Amino acid sequence: LPKIIATGGWSGGIKIWNGGNDHRDVDGGETTADEAALDLLGAKNIVHEDRIMGIAMRPYLTSTTSTEGLTTMVASASIDLSAKLCKVTLNEDAASDSMDVEDDGNKAKNNQHLRYTIEECAHLKGHAARLCSVAFHPTGKFVATTSFDHTWRLWDVETSSMAEGKELLLQDGHSREVYGVGFHPDGSLVSTTDFGGVVQCWDLRTGKSACHFLGHARRVVCSEFSPNGFQLATAGDDGTIKIWDLRRRRPSASIPAHTNLITQLKFSHSTSSQNGEFLASSSFDGTGKIWSTRDWKLLSTLEGHEGKVMGIDVLDGRDCGVVTCGFDKTLKLWK
């Protein structure tokens, strides 16, 4: 299977793209059976009634249920006051039709000829204001959402349905709008950030705050635990990435990373080691940047978007790459 990239748009739709393929032919050449990188693999034009603000993909290792043919699951959060879960499945009709439609220009227009289908399977309702971010628990069994209603919520993936989302936890410990959310690699902690500059770490076993961090001058919109589990990276309006030492519960680094709001942070998650070698960041300043996790120095600047860079992620595997999406309505893959 190719690496799958999921994107959500302001039109309320979700699309699935090919992020490349790790498999090789016996002679060492590239396989030819799969589509080229960034080819459209699946699309559902209307998932939400308004713009999608956050999107997340269920961890591959736990993306198996009793539903035959299920490939993975995508969670989305929207300003229409709801989050949704969509299952992504292999389109059996696409394989037989792919040769007929490959060159007719209709491949991206006709969803029945795309390799994957996207089907809504759960509607998570309960927030009283627009939603901001969404994240899957490392086990894939739970999903967290944040909202302008000053709360974040934890939902059960397996028992939620279109009729009712199964809410497991409602946490109202923030005094301002809650935006960023991220899970610790072992699943014991979840971090949330708010517009007051507060970063909270919650113990999922008790539902209570384990610690909090103060240091950002303005709104904090993203948080990401490092794969080693000892550090938390946060960023937001002040253009600074802060690295927090979870064992000592204090800041360990402050990186003047961007000249405008930082929209997303992602650590590389190596398939052979738990320690990510770099941290990727995206910003309204029109760039993505790659930082070494050893000394937090800049490794590379990704320039190419015309305008704000809305998101960034790391494609793990043999050929590690970075994908960015922008206000210019483009998706870019960086090697």
Q: What is the pLDDT of residues 278-331, one digit of tens each?
A: 999 999 999 999 999 999 999 999 999 999 999 999 987 666 789 999 999 999
| % of the chain residues with pLDDT over 70 | 83
Mean pLDDT for the stretch of residues 104-121: 70
C-alpha angle 266-323-296 in degrees, rounded to nearest 5: 40
Q: Give the per-residue pLDDT at 110.
A: 53
Mean pLDDT for the stretch of residues 86-92: 90
Q: Sign of the C-alpha dihedral, residues 280, 283, 289, 295?
A: negative
The answer to whether the beta carbons of residues 71 and 116 sit under 8 Å apart is yes
Between these two residues, 94 and 207, which has the higher pLDDT value?
207
Q: Give the per-residue pLDDT at 2.
A: 64
Q: Which residue, chain included where needed, has tokens 């209570």?
A: 208
User: How far apart are alpha carbons 253 and 245 in whole angstroms?
Assistant: 9
Q: Give the per-residue pLDDT at 107.
A: 42
Mean per-residue pLDDT over the chain, rounded: 87
Residue 268 structure tokens: 């590389």
Q: Give the per-residue pLDDT at 311.
A: 97
**3 state SS of 237:** coil
Q: Is the pLDDT of residue 85 over 60?
A: yes
**3 state SS of 68:** coil
Q: Which residue, chain included where needed, has tokens 């000829």?
A: 113
Binned at pLDDT 50, 70 and 90, residue 27 comes out as: very low
Residue 39 structure tokens: 């080819």
Q: Give the per-residue pLDDT at 319.
A: 67
Q: What are the backbone angles phi and psi of residue 262, rounded to the nearest 5°?
A: -95, 120
Q: Give the per-residue pLDDT at 30.
A: 47
Binned at pLDDT 50, 70 and 90, residue 111 comes out as: low
What would the pLDDT profile of 149-202 be if each residue is shown by its tens digit?
Answer: 999 999 999 999 999 899 999 999 999 999 999 999 999 999 999 999 999 999
**28 CB contacts (<8 Å, ≥6 apart)?**
none
**3 state SS of 246:** coil
